[in-house]
Amino acid sequence: MFDLVWVAKFSDNPLQLFQYHCSPEDSSCVEVPFSTVLEKQDTLTHFALLNRRNGTWYNVDLQRGTISIAQGMDNVQFLEPRADMLRKDELKYRLIYFREVTRHFDSNMREVSEHSINYFIGFQYTDTEGHNHKRLMCINADGQVVIN
Protein backbone atom coordinates (compact mmCIF):
# COMPACT_ATOMS: atom_id res chain seq x y z
CA MET A 1 0.00 0.00 0.00
CA PHE A 2 1.29 3.49 -0.86
CA ASP A 3 2.15 6.13 1.78
CA LEU A 4 -0.30 8.53 0.13
CA VAL A 5 -3.61 7.07 -0.96
CA TRP A 6 -6.33 8.79 -2.96
CA VAL A 7 -9.95 9.51 -2.09
CA ALA A 8 -12.47 10.77 -4.64
CA LYS A 9 -15.85 12.45 -4.17
CA PHE A 10 -18.48 12.71 -6.89
CA SER A 11 -21.54 14.96 -7.22
CA ASP A 12 -23.86 12.00 -7.94
CA ASN A 13 -22.89 9.98 -4.84
CA PRO A 14 -22.64 11.12 -1.20
CA LEU A 15 -20.10 8.37 -0.43
CA GLN A 16 -16.39 8.76 -1.09
CA LEU A 17 -14.45 6.31 -3.25
CA PHE A 18 -11.23 5.14 -1.60
CA GLN A 19 -8.18 3.78 -3.42
CA TYR A 20 -8.28 0.71 -1.18
CA HIS A 21 -11.40 -1.17 -0.21
CA CYS A 22 -10.59 -3.07 2.99
CA SER A 23 -12.62 -5.88 4.50
CA PRO A 24 -13.18 -5.56 8.28
CA GLU A 25 -13.57 -9.33 8.64
CA ASP A 26 -10.11 -10.41 7.49
CA SER A 27 -8.36 -7.00 7.10
CA SER A 28 -7.57 -7.73 3.44
CA CYS A 29 -7.47 -4.79 1.04
CA VAL A 30 -8.19 -4.62 -2.67
CA GLU A 31 -6.99 -1.66 -4.74
CA VAL A 32 -9.65 0.19 -6.70
CA PRO A 33 -8.28 1.07 -10.17
CA PHE A 34 -7.73 4.79 -10.80
CA SER A 35 -9.56 4.25 -14.09
CA THR A 36 -12.75 4.12 -11.96
CA VAL A 37 -12.18 7.81 -11.15
CA LEU A 38 -11.38 8.68 -14.76
CA GLU A 39 -14.56 6.98 -15.99
CA LYS A 40 -16.60 9.32 -13.76
CA GLN A 41 -14.50 12.48 -14.04
CA ASP A 42 -17.45 14.53 -15.31
CA THR A 43 -19.04 14.21 -11.85
CA LEU A 44 -15.76 14.38 -9.86
CA THR A 45 -15.95 17.28 -7.36
CA HIS A 46 -13.03 16.62 -4.98
CA PHE A 47 -9.89 14.52 -5.16
CA ALA A 48 -7.59 14.15 -2.18
CA LEU A 49 -4.47 12.32 -1.09
CA LEU A 50 -4.16 11.12 2.50
CA ASN A 51 -0.69 10.66 3.98
CA ARG A 52 -1.22 7.52 6.06
CA ARG A 53 1.94 8.24 8.10
CA ASN A 54 0.97 11.63 9.51
CA GLY A 55 -2.75 12.12 8.74
CA THR A 56 -2.25 15.04 6.33
CA TRP A 57 -4.85 15.56 3.59
CA TYR A 58 -4.02 17.24 0.27
CA ASN A 59 -7.27 18.23 -1.42
CA VAL A 60 -8.20 19.52 -4.87
CA ASP A 61 -11.62 21.14 -5.13
CA LEU A 62 -12.64 20.82 -8.78
CA GLN A 63 -15.74 22.97 -8.35
CA ARG A 64 -13.95 26.09 -7.07
CA GLY A 65 -10.44 25.50 -8.42
CA THR A 66 -8.59 25.40 -5.09
CA ILE A 67 -5.91 23.26 -3.47
CA SER A 68 -5.81 22.89 0.30
CA ILE A 69 -4.00 20.99 3.04
CA ALA A 70 -5.43 19.87 6.41
CA GLN A 71 -4.50 17.62 9.33
CA GLY A 72 -6.53 14.89 10.99
CA MET A 73 -7.81 11.40 10.48
CA ASP A 74 -11.45 12.06 11.44
CA ASN A 75 -13.79 14.97 10.61
CA VAL A 76 -11.18 16.85 8.61
CA GLN A 77 -12.05 20.50 8.04
CA PHE A 78 -10.44 22.37 5.15
CA LEU A 79 -9.99 26.13 5.36
CA GLU A 80 -12.61 27.89 3.24
CA PRO A 81 -11.21 30.26 0.62
CA ARG A 82 -12.15 33.92 0.69
CA ALA A 83 -14.38 35.03 -2.18
CA ASP A 84 -11.62 37.20 -3.65
CA MET A 85 -9.38 34.10 -3.96
CA LEU A 86 -11.77 32.44 -6.42
CA ARG A 87 -11.92 33.05 -10.15
CA LYS A 88 -14.93 35.06 -11.31
CA ASP A 89 -15.61 33.05 -14.48
CA GLU A 90 -17.41 29.72 -14.55
CA LEU A 91 -14.58 27.34 -15.46
CA LYS A 92 -14.30 23.58 -15.87
CA TYR A 93 -11.44 22.28 -13.71
CA ARG A 94 -9.80 19.02 -14.76
CA LEU A 95 -7.89 16.76 -12.38
CA ILE A 96 -4.14 16.20 -12.60
CA TYR A 97 -2.81 13.22 -10.63
CA PHE A 98 0.27 11.05 -11.11
CA ARG A 99 3.18 9.48 -9.21
CA GLU A 100 6.86 9.80 -10.06
CA VAL A 101 9.11 6.94 -8.93
CA THR A 102 12.86 7.56 -8.65
CA ARG A 103 15.29 4.65 -8.50
CA HIS A 104 19.09 4.74 -8.15
CA PHE A 105 21.34 2.14 -9.81
CA ASP A 106 25.04 1.39 -9.75
CA SER A 107 27.15 0.76 -12.86
CA ASN A 108 26.02 -2.90 -12.87
CA MET A 109 22.37 -1.85 -12.95
CA ARG A 110 21.73 -3.02 -9.38
CA GLU A 111 19.42 -0.85 -7.36
CA VAL A 112 21.58 0.79 -4.66
CA SER A 113 18.94 2.34 -2.42
CA GLU A 114 15.24 2.31 -1.83
CA HIS A 115 13.13 4.01 -4.45
CA SER A 116 11.28 7.23 -3.64
CA ILE A 117 7.86 8.33 -4.79
CA ASN A 118 6.67 11.88 -5.35
CA TYR A 119 2.95 12.41 -5.73
CA PHE A 120 1.53 15.14 -7.97
CA ILE A 121 -1.99 16.47 -7.55
CA GLY A 122 -3.69 19.52 -8.99
CA PHE A 123 -5.95 20.79 -11.71
CA GLN A 124 -5.91 22.50 -15.06
CA TYR A 125 -8.43 24.71 -16.79
CA THR A 126 -8.90 26.64 -20.00
CA ASP A 127 -9.65 30.35 -19.53
CA THR A 128 -12.14 32.37 -21.54
CA GLU A 129 -9.41 33.29 -24.06
CA GLY A 130 -8.56 29.63 -24.72
CA HIS A 131 -5.31 29.53 -22.69
CA ASN A 132 -4.57 26.43 -20.60
CA HIS A 133 -3.49 26.93 -16.96
CA LYS A 134 -2.17 24.38 -14.45
CA ARG A 135 -1.90 24.43 -10.67
CA LEU A 136 0.13 21.54 -9.35
CA MET A 137 1.34 20.36 -5.95
CA CYS A 138 4.20 17.87 -5.50
CA ILE A 139 4.24 15.90 -2.22
CA ASN A 140 6.86 13.45 -0.97
CA ALA A 141 6.25 10.64 1.53
CA ASP A 142 7.67 12.78 4.36
CA GLY A 143 5.02 15.42 3.74
CA GLN A 144 7.18 18.08 2.13
CA VAL A 145 5.26 20.09 -0.45
CA VAL A 146 5.95 22.42 -3.34
CA ILE A 147 3.15 24.19 -5.21
CA ASN A 148 3.47 26.03 -8.51
Give the C-alpha separation, 109 to 120, whole Å: 27
Say what the pTM is.
Answer: 0.86
Q: Residue ranges per domain, the chain?
A: 4-147
Instruction: Give me the mean pLDDT over the 111-127 stretch.
Output: 93
Average pLDDT, the chain: 90
Q: Largest alpha-carbon pair distance within the chain?
A: 56
Give the C-alpha separation, 51 to 139, whole Å: 10
Contact predicate 49/58, CB 8 Å: yes
Residue 76: pLDDT above 80? no
77-109 tens-digit pLDDT? 777 888 878 887 889 999 999 999 999 899 999
Residue 113: pLDDT above 80? yes
Q: How many CB atoms lie within 10 A of CB 25?
A: 6
Instruction: Give me the mean pLDDT over the 100-121 stretch.
Output: 92
Q: Tell me the β-bridge partners of 99.
A: 119
